[in-house]
Structure 1
Amino acid sequence: MQRLGSTGDTFDDEGTFVLEHLPEPGAFLDGHDVLTDEDHTEFHATTWEIFEERGVYDMTFGYNLAKLNLDTRHPNAGFRYAEDADEEGVLRAEFTPTTEFCPAGNSLAIGAFRAWNGLPERHEYDLVRVRVAEMHNESASLNDDLRQLEQILEEDGEVPGPDALREGSA
C-alpha cells in the first residue's frame, strides 16, 4: 500500500502537523473542538487508510484525497476536523478544495462522507458530518446535498448510494 510519505519539498512528512500547510477552520467548525497535533494526525492517518480502501482519489492530482493535506503546493486546501461540541460521537470534517471553482468539490466531499460513514468501525465516531468550505462558489448547494445524505443515513441506518440525490429520496 502506498503511504502518505514525502517527496522532497512537495509534501510534508507523514504524521506531521504543519499548521501553515492546512486550511483555516471555517464556519462549520466554529465553536467545536478542532483537532490539532497528534489528534489531527491520528485521525488523518485513519482517513488515509479509509480513503485508500474506498478509492477516494483526487483525479486532478492522481492521489488519495488525504494526501492533499500534505501537499505544500496547496497550503490552504484539505481537511480540518473537529469533535462536535453538541453531539457526542460526532466528528465534523470541513473540506477546502484547492480553488473556489473546483469542479470535483461535490464528488470529493460526498466520496469522503460515504467512505468515513461506510466504515464506522475504523474510527471512534458514530457519524462524520462533512461540509465544503464556504470559499467554494457552490458550497451552499453542495452542503445541502451533504445534509440530505446525512438525513438519509440517520433515517435508514445505511450510507446512501450514488443515486440517492438523483432519485429524490433525499
Structure 2
Amino acid sequence: MPEFPSPFSRADDTLFDRYHEFVPENLPGPGPFLDGHDVLTDDRHTAFHRLTKRLFDERGVYDMTFGYNLARLNLDDRHPAAGYRYAKEADGPSTLRAEFTPTTPFCPQSHTLTIGSFRAWNGLTDRHEYDRVRVRVHPMHQRSTAINDRLDELDARYRDTGRIDEAGGSATAGSRRQPGSVGGAQPPF
C-alpha cells in the first residue's frame, strides 16, 4: 500500500531506521503491560516488526497524521518514544503482548490504530508463531483506560470465540451508524 501524503511527513528516508535494525534509543521503553513478560529485543523484535509491517500493509493499519504504515513509527527518529514494543506472555509463550505508545498523550487515533493492530495480528495468525496477540495502549494516553477496556473486550471475545469481529458484524465499536444518525437508515427528525 502506498504512503499517504501528509503535511506532517516528509519522504526523507534519513529520518528512519531500517526494519532490520534494533535501535533501543529510538523505541519506547517497555511499559506496564509488558512488565514481568519476556520483552522482545534485537533480532526477535525486528523479525516480528518486519512481519508487522507486512500485516499492517495488507490490513491498512496506517497513521494518517504521518502518512505511513503504523509500523514505520517505530523507525521514525523524530518520535523516539513512540511505537510498539512486544513481549511473550510469561504464562503462555504462544501469546504475544503488544503495547502501543502514541506520540502524544492526546493522540486521537490511538483507539483506531490499536484496534486495527489487534485485528491485523489476530486475523492473520497463520502468518506468525503466536496463537493470540494482546494489544494495549500505554497509560500515558489520556484515554488509555477506556481504550484498553475496549481492547480487553475484543481480546476476551477472540480468546473465547476465535473471532476478531464484533458479534454479528465487522465494524469497530462506535463506527456503525445508528438509526437516526447522520447517514443512518432513518432521517434524524
Q: Identify which of 47, 50, 69 aligns with 2:52.
A: 47
Residues 9 and 72 in structure 1, CA contact (< 8 A), matched pair in contact too = no
One-letter identity of the residue aligned with 1:93 = A
Distance in 2, matches of 1:82 and 1:90, equals 9
- Is 1:24 matched up with 2:32? no
| Partner in structure 1 of residue 41 of structure 2 | 36
Question: Following superposition, which runs of at least 4 residues in structure 1 exceed 6 angstroms of deviation?
Answer: none
Unaligned runs of 5+ in 2: 4-10, 177-189
Is 1:99 the counterpart of 2:107 in the alignment? no
Q: Check whether the contact 2:36–2:90 (CA below 8 A) recurs between aligned residues.
A: yes
**Structure 1 unaligned regions, length at least 5:** none
TM (norm. structure 2) is 0.82
Within 1, Cα distance between the matches of 2:140 and 2:155?
Answer: 22
- The structural deviation recorded for 1:164 is 5.8
The answer (yes or no) to whether the contact 2:19–2:49 under 8 Å persists in 1 is no
Secondary structure in 1 aligned to 2:92?
coil
Helix, strand or coil for the counterpart of 2:14?
A: coil
TM-score, normalization: structure 1? Answer: 0.91
Match of 1:152 in 2: 157
Kindly, what percent of the aligned residue pairs are identical? Answer: 57
CA RMSD in angstroms comes to: 1.8
- Taking structure 1 as reference, are residues 159 and 2 closer, same or farther at Cα in structure 2, changes over 3 Å only? same
Q: What secondary structure sits across from 1:150 in the alignment?
A: helix
Pick the structure with greater CA Rg: 2
Distance 2:29 2:120 in 1: 23
Q: Say whether the 8 Å CA contact 2:55–2:120 is kept in structure 1.
A: yes
